[in-house]
Amino acid sequence: MTTEINLEVTAHSSDRLDKWLSDRLPDISRSRLQKLIAEGHVQVNQQVCTSKKIAVKIGDRLQINLPEVLPLDIKAENIPLEILYEDDSLIIVNKPVGLVVHPAAGHWDGTLVNALLAHCPNLAGIGGVQRPGIVHRLDKNTSGAIAIAKTDQAHQHLQAQLKAKTAQREYLGLVYGSPATSSGRIDQPIGRHLVDRKKMAVVSEEQGGRASITRWQVQERLGNYSLMHFQLETGRTHQIRVHSAFIGHPIIGDPVYGSGHSLGVNLAGQALHAWRLSLQHPITGELIQAIASPPPAFMTLLEVLRKRISAQNPKLLSPDSLQRYT
């Protein structure tokens, strides 16, 4: 079954076709777009175009036909899962740092999907053969709660909740610096970095950025560092990491958007954790709230920072216990 995407060039541009499409379709790699163009799956003004180098111009109407992806031979693997919630419709797990969500180039096995297929043998094909059951994503080095649908009905329902912003995704992050205010809202479009195509960045909508909104609140001030609570209104790739860096408070341990330093604690990834996931059950309608305990390294870093600030000035330390987020 072919998926059709229709786009229109609404602003002046001299970009070549593959670059223009890549800026507006960040979930499709540029190499795949180039292959789609070469194979005749892209039309410009109702004419098949096989040249990736033609320049698009204002008023052009583009049609991209995505052919059905051939099934991957994804094998089930007995990888332990920390299950936060499970029934016949969905499962919510606490994904560890370092676990890739679904198979892709360079990670064909050892992923969350491989583990899920062993745990839920009937998962194959739900919502697509390449990413069975996956409703939303977490970066490889971000831990925390992630929901997986067990049926097509649940998959469609959960995706609709994310689109309608009725499902809530809350994160905890340790960042550099101390924001001047206690809370805020970042409303900045995110797209592919204009130079380094492997990164995301805050870019204008004219340059391919898509609307992105992150709410944040300071939970604890720890001297030159802060524990932050983030809530997503949109779900762009690397959204919290990009927005945090944009406001001058990158996530500790982030090798792409921050300094990458872990302050002496052996962090396997950035200090960002999908802490709480709230959604409506796709069948019963009841509210489900899953809380994922942060990984030990995250809590160790938080304790180290608390001890540092306590040694400097005990009055600055929050009285909250480490168990508050578990």
Q: Are 121 and 76 in contact (CB under 8 A)?
A: yes
Residue in the block written with tokens 């070549």: 16
Distance CA 295, CA 272 (A): 10
Mapped to the 3 state alphabet, what secondary structure does the chain carry? CCEEEEEECCCCCCCEHHHHHHHHCCCCCHHHHHHHHHCCCEEECCEECCCCCCECCCCCEEEEEECCCCCCCCCCCCCCCCEEEECCCEEEEEECCCCCCCCECCECCCCHHHHHHHHCHHHCCCCCCCCCCECCCCCCCCEEEEEEECCHHHHHHHHHHHHHCCCEEEEEEEEECCCCCCEEEEECCEEECCCCCCCEEECCHHHCCECCEEEEEEEEEECCEEEEEEEECCCCCCHHHHHHHHCCCCECCCCCCCCCCCCCCCCCCCCEEEEEEEEECCCCCCEEEEECCCCHHHHHHHHHHHHHHHHHCHHHCCCCCHHHHC
CB atoms closer than 10 angstroms to residue 326: 11
CB atoms closer than 10 angstroms to residue 105: 7
* Active-site residue identified among 18, 23, 60, 139: 139
Distance CA 249, CA 304 (A): 19
Residue 2, token pair as written in the block: 């072919």
15 labelled catalytic: no
Catalytic residues: 139
